[in-house]
Amino acid sequence: MLLGNLCLGLALLSALFSAFFFISGAKGTEKFLGIGRKIYYLFFFFVFLASAYLMYLFLSHNFNVEYVHNYSSSDLPWFYLVSAFWAGQEGSFLLWLLLGSLLGIFIIFRRDKARSDIYQGYTMFFYLLVQMSLLILLLKKSPFSLLPNSPLEGKGLHPLLQDFWMVIHPPVVFIGYAAIAVPFAYALAVLVENRYEGWTRFVLPWVGFSSLSLGAGIFLGSYWAYKVLGWGGYWGWDPVENASLIPWLSSIALMHGLLLEKTKGGMRRTNLLLAILSFLLILYGTFLVRSGVLGKFSVHSFTDLGISAYLMWFMIFFALLSIGLLIFRLPHIQRIQITKNILSSEFLVSVAIVFLCVSALLILLGTSSPLITSIFGEPSNVDIPFYLRTQLPLAIIVVLMLGIVPFLSWNKTSGNEFIKKISLPLSLAFLLTILAFILKVRFPIYLVLMFVALLAFVGNMFLFIKRSGKGLKFAGGYLTHLGVGLLVLGIITSSGYSESIKLTLPINETKEAFEYKLTYMGIDSASIAGKEALKVKVEKGNKSFLARPEFYHSEFTHGMLRHPYIKTNLLNDLYLAPLELSPPGEGEKESLFSVQKGETKEVGGYNIKFVDFDMTTHDEVDQVSVGAILEIEKNEKMETLVPAITIGRTEGDQAKNKVQLPGGEDYLILEKIDADRKMIDLSLVLSAEETSSDLLILNVSKKPLINLYWLGTVLILLGLIIATYRRGKEITVNSQ
């Protein structure tokens, strides 16, 4: 649409002029800085107008616009139409730009309040370079492009995206992405000015805010996955997840490094480097998941819209600019040696920063493995055990630091004083670990991790109570750290000691799983939004309830979708995920089932083994065919078949082929691929006589103490809110 593209073009023009006046006034010419601010407001206005116009196009069902057609339909409620704004790449880039342009106003506002931001001219110049990069991407692939015809209806929104968390989760993540550019811009401004004293005062609130928003986005995403996707977990080490986790870890390291610099003057070079790298990691993660380079290794990554070269060049440009400037200024940056005394907060915080960076680096290497291995031959991806083997030892070290540091002063602490302070928390953590051992936590590395997590929780709890008496604003760090302790405990118990049983439930027949009795009572077709819910009566003692996991056919994906039912208890979650449903009927009988890579399942008289994925790119039609190599055995005869799903440019644009099984009467359809878990869903369609048995295969899981994980995430975010608020207030207080 002309209006939308015109707004984007005018926004780019305004950003260019604003950047020019900001850099012209960077040496203190207030007149130029004032003009730059006024033009910046104009830049924000055009970005806001473009965003509002796209939202209007969604709400008015203007399917003549390609982006609106691809991600919405007239039957969607208004809140899903709102979330459709950022369902695809073009809209999510515009959301990123909108939030980034809004944050720029707060940089200007902070300067007007503080009256002493000597870095603002250069800061806004570099910050606008980031915004202009996003604008160029949007002009290259515009969300306002028109279709050659005028369709009466849109394709709709993917059913898994029709969820409350889709309305909240992406905007929170993109606030974090936008906010990380602020410390980056400040770091470059500081390097250009070659003035470093006091820069921590301006950048600390922004690092806190970016860590808060990015962390909130990660945790909301993990809850969304747990609640909606039905595989029972909250983290899968997918590139999309890692793309947010890696810069979050570097931002957390930067926050602690800035506190060290503010208090002791050390780590200035490291902090400037971390501020730069955190932003570059955002760009790199965006390139990985949005350029299509990981298309053969993660079905969650976006297809290439023709902007991968732009993403790569922007990444190279900002890397050369920032790293080059840092190297050029390195001789001028004063280096203050960190104390070598082990019994000091200064030393142990610096150690924790190092290991946070090592953790981020190893996750980065794992996520980048397809690109790295392609240099030497056939590209390959790392398995989830790689992340577990590398991250568990690092987690022990970092969490141990969280448990020890609160009992040390910044300078040297005597051994006797340290033992006196830590003895009670240490004893409680040790006793609770023994209790965990009695309760059958026997895996050594889990016991060690549990001990340090308990120490971090107990120790920081004591100090949080003590410091909050002097004012809650001084206790944010302790609250965050005790939240980390709880989160780690929740990960150990819910992931390491989760129990799962697969039940085959004929209708009206009761079977037991753990201490529960479950009875499948049929299908409720009158459930919300037309989704068929499976009625499962769950009994425990004298209490019972009706669980309603969903298992239904989606016209959008042309396959079966499932939603779990979660019964939250104080000490555990009961997690019911439907795997297969065989309704009664006559003629053909369809069974949907899941199978992991390397696993063999016996279904309908066939032994079906999932050997590997098979992916073929069709460049001429811009499609990717994702197949599954299957070995089928029946009556001692083996045959290899490859059912596939062909994925087009837009979400939901896919087709499935069916492969005939030996004998010529039965066939298989590949319904769904879960690349992260190396699992596929298959439909086996049998030519059968009339059947009267209604059969449900249900995966029943019990996840002990998973509420510790969710409570830990809440406390971490509350602590970051308190810490960010405190550091933000320091800007104006110190400027008066």
Q: Which residue has the higher pLDDT, 584 or 444?
A: 444
In the β-sheet with 585-596, what is the strand arrangement from edge to edge? 585-596, 679-691, 667-674, 658-660
End-to-end CA distance of the chain: 49
pLDDT band of residue 646 (cuts 50, 70, 90) is confident
Contact 105, 178 (CB under 8 A): no
Q: Are 538 and 545 in contact (CB under 8 A)?
A: yes
How far is CA 235 from its chain centroid? 9
Amino acid at 82: V
Query: Which of the two residues, 354 and 369, has the higher pLDDT score?
Result: 354
DSSP string covering 509-534: -EEEETTEEEEEEEEETT-GGGPPEE
Q: Supply angle C-alpha 453, 455, 459, rounded to 5.
A: 125
User: Please, are residues 248 and 211 in contact by the beta-carbon 8 Å criterion?
Assistant: yes
Where residue 654 falls among pLDDT bands split at 50, 70, 90?
A: low
Binned at pLDDT 50, 70 and 90, residue 109 comes out as confident
Enclosing H/E stretch for 262: helix 239-264
pLDDT at 650 over 50: no
Which whole number is the average pLDDT over 441-468?
92
Q: What local confidence, expressed as pLDDT, does residue 604 receive?
A: 73
pTM, entire model = 0.85
**Do 349 and 405 contact (CB within 8 A), yes or no?**
yes
What is the set of domains in the chain, with CATH numbers?
1-162 (no CATH), 585-691 (2.60.98)
Q: Chain-wide mean pLDDT for the chain?
A: 86
- Nearest CA to 634 out of 600, 585, 658 is that of 600
Residue 620: its pLDDT value, please? Answer: 41
% of the chain beyond a pLDDT of 70? 88
Which pLDDT tens digit goes with each residue over 589-629?
556 777 877 788 877 778 888 888 876 544 444 456 778 88
What is the per-residue pLDDT for 103? 96
pLDDT at res. 302: 56
pLDDT in tens, 153-206: 999 888 888 888 888 999 999 999 999 999 999 999 999 999 888 889 889 999
- How far from 196 is each of 37, 45, 266, 333, 734, CA to CA, in Å? 24, 33, 12, 8, 17
SS3 388: helix
pLDDT band at 682 (very low <50, low <70, confident <90, very high): confident
Greater confidence, 674 or 601? 601
| Tally of CB atoms within 10 A around 133 | 20
Strand duo 585-596 + 679-691: pairing: antiparallel
pLDDT at 728: 80
Q: Which residues pair with 679 in a beta bridge?
A: 596, 674
Quote the tokens at residue 654.
């896919």
Q: How many other CB atoms sit within 10 Å of the CB of residue 510?
A: 12
Largest CA distance in the chain: 87
CA distances from residue 310 to 92, 135, 562 in whole angstroms, order as listed: 16, 11, 38
Residue-wise pLDDT tens digits, 364-394? 999 998 888 878 877 778 888 899 999 999 9
Residue 677 pLDDT class (50, 70, 90 cuts):
low
The predicted-structure confidence for 516-550, as pLDDT tens digits, reads as follows 999 999 887 655 555 678 899 999 989 999 999 98
295-351 pLDDT per residue, tens = 555 545 555 567 788 889 999 999 999 999 999 999 989 888 888 888 888 899 999
Mean pLDDT of the region 483-494? 95
- 239/279: higher pLDDT: 279
Query: Side-chain half-sphere of 405: how many Cα atoms within 13 Å?
Result: 24
Sequence-ordered list of residues with C-beta below 8 angstroms from that of 735, at least 6 positions apart, any chain: 113, 114, 115, 116
Q: For the stretch 607-624, what's the b/e string if a residue is b when 16 or more beta carbons lie within 10 angstroms of its beta carbon?
A: ebbbeebebeeeeeeebb
Segment 96-104 shows an average pLDDT of 97
Is it the case that residue 265 has pLDDT exceeding 60?
A: yes
- What is the structure's pLDDT at 586? 41
Q: Which residue has the higher pLDDT, 675 or 302?
A: 675
